[in-house]
Amino acid sequence: MGAPPSSDGSRAPARPLPGAGVERRTVAEGAGVAVFLALALFGVPALRNGYWELVLQTSAIYTIVALSLALLLGRVGMISLGQVALLAIGGWIALRLGFATTMPFLVVVFVTGLITGVLGTLIGLPALRLSGLHLALITLMFAAAITLLLEATQFPNGGGGFLGHSVLTTAPSVLHRPGFASDDAAYYRLVVVATGLMFLLVVAHVRSRAGRAWAAIRQSEAAALAAGVNVTLYKLWALALASFMTGVAGGLLAASGGGLTVYQFPTQNSIILLAVVLMGGIFSLWGPVVAGLLFEALPALLRTWGLPADLLTILFGLGVLQVQLTAAAGLASQVPRDLARLARLLGGAMGRRRGQELPG
């Protein structure tokens, strides 16, 4: 009973917060991001290869979709197989707004994100009480329904009415690019910058109150509730954020190439997206980048080599197995870890040799 009275925090450890190791890692990661962004923004257009520029542009857009799925899966523990369908919805909304209003491009994309965010949240609402496999099945059903619906309505192409589609014209369903990014290289850069902004949005969330609440929810809803977290609210917030980002991606996709067609969004793409997101890794922010490249650039690579596209499904299946068996955190964390191990091995060998030269 003789505990010394103390409530002034004098027992608090004097160590700095967070540890110095974390800071060094942050600097290294920041440098990696800067180099990657510089390559993406200036290296790729310098190649002057229109085909690969378009492929990488689409990869960047799918990176946003992968990021939204990785956020739900890796940070909150919710499986959604409906992200590709939401992407199609985002594309539809952006086209509809683009043809019906005179809003500037960036505003169209932003508003598309907001509307998709609301829709995605509403769709997720009944699914909130479900988890795991049930949530996956419900969202997959939703994706299939959207595919059917789109086949009936098609994408807006400047026609009248609410649906905005006219069968009388052959006009493509394409969104007008902004004046400052009308040529392909400039639009590609715009997409890369927008993708970067989505990553910033996610990082800001993960490092804040919401990210800490999600971490608790993912591990144990009971522990989250006992800590005072309004679990329903934070799950809805995650759904809204993921849907917003996917809507933005849809808007960007609507202006990216020759226009949107319903064949771009088959239901099985939702499952393939899940496979590449798992392969890329759901805990590292590099994971979605890898996933976007696997989703868009790998098929393009196979095409240029003249290999059958079905090979992809097999590759992705094997890839998910490999990742789950050997590195559940995904490729994006496996590669740096292997590199770090190599560096330690080399460093250790050199350190030992140097150590021998030192006087004992």
Partner 1 sequence: MIEISDLTVRFGGVTPIDGVSLRFPGGTCGLIGPNGAGKTTLFNVLSGFVSPTSGSVRAFGDDLLAMPHYRRARWGLRRTFQTEQAIEALSVFDNVAMVHEHTGGRRSRRRREVLDAIGLVGLEVDPGELVGTLGARERRLVEIARAVVGEPRVVLLDEPAAGLPEEETEHLGRMIRRIPGERGALVVLVDHDMSLVSACCEITAVLDFGHLIASGPTPEVLRDERVRRAYLGTEEEL
Residue 73, Ramachandran bin (φ over 0: left; ψ between -120 and 50: alpha; else beta)? alpha
Query: CB of residue 21 vs partner 1: minimum separation in angstroms?
Result: 8
202 is a site residue for partner 1 (CB under 8 A): no
> How far is it, in rounded angstroms, from Cα 273 to Cα 343?
33
User: Binding residue for partner 1 (CB under 8 A) from 106, 119, 130, 215?
Assistant: 215
Instruction: Decide: is 228 part of the binding site for partner 1 (CB under 8 A).
Output: yes
CA distance 108 to 22: 39
293 near 287, Cβ under 8 Å? no
Looking at 194, 213, 275, 331, which residue binds partner 1 (CB under 8 A)?
A: 213
What is the Cα–Cα distance from 243 to 222, expressed in whole angstroms? 26
Q: Mask 11-30, x = binds partner 1 (CB under 8 A)?
A: xxx-x-xxx--x--------
By the 10 Å C-beta count (0-12 exposed, 13-18 middle, 19+ buried), 264 is classed as middle
Q: How far is it, in rounded angstroms, from Cα 63 to Cα 288?
A: 5
Euclidean distance between CA atoms 44 and 221, whole angstroms: 44
Least Å from the CB of residue 214 to partner 1: 9
**Is residue 223 close enough to count as binding partner 1 by CB under 8 A?**
yes
Residue of 229, 274, 291, 332 interacting with partner 1 (CB under 8 A): 229
Asked if 290 contacts 281 with a C-beta cutoff of 8 angstroms, the reply is: yes
Full DSSP string of 160-220: STTT---SS------PPPPGGG-SHHHHHHHHHHHHHHHHHHHHHHHTSHHHHHHHHHHH-
CB of 1 to partner 1, least distance (A): 7
Shortest distance, CB of residue 247 to partner 1, whole angstroms? 27
Instruction: Return the residue of 25, 209, 303, 341 that touches partner 1, per CB under 8 A.
Output: 209
Cα 200–204–207 angle (5° rounding)? 135
- In whole angstroms, the minimum distance from the beta carbon of 209 to partner 1 comes to 6
Piece of 109-117, 179-187, 225-233, 238-246 that binds partner 1 (CB under 8 A): 225-233
Nearer to partner 1, 16 or 359 (CB): 16
Using CB under 8 A as the criterion, what x/- string covers residues 99-118 for binding partner 1?
Answer: --------------------
Task: Give the integer Cα–Cα distance in Å for 83 and 69.
Answer: 7
Q: What's the min distance (Å) between Cβ of 228 and partner 1?
A: 3
Is 320 a binding residue for partner 1 by CB under 8 A? The answer is no
Residue placing its CB nearer to partner 1 in the complex, 17 or 309: 17
Q: DSSP string of 220-232?
A: -HHHHHHTT--HH
Residues within the interface to partner 1 (CB under 8 A): 1, 3, 5-7, 9, 11-13, 15, 17-19, 22, 209, 212-213, 215-216, 218-220, 222-223, 225-231
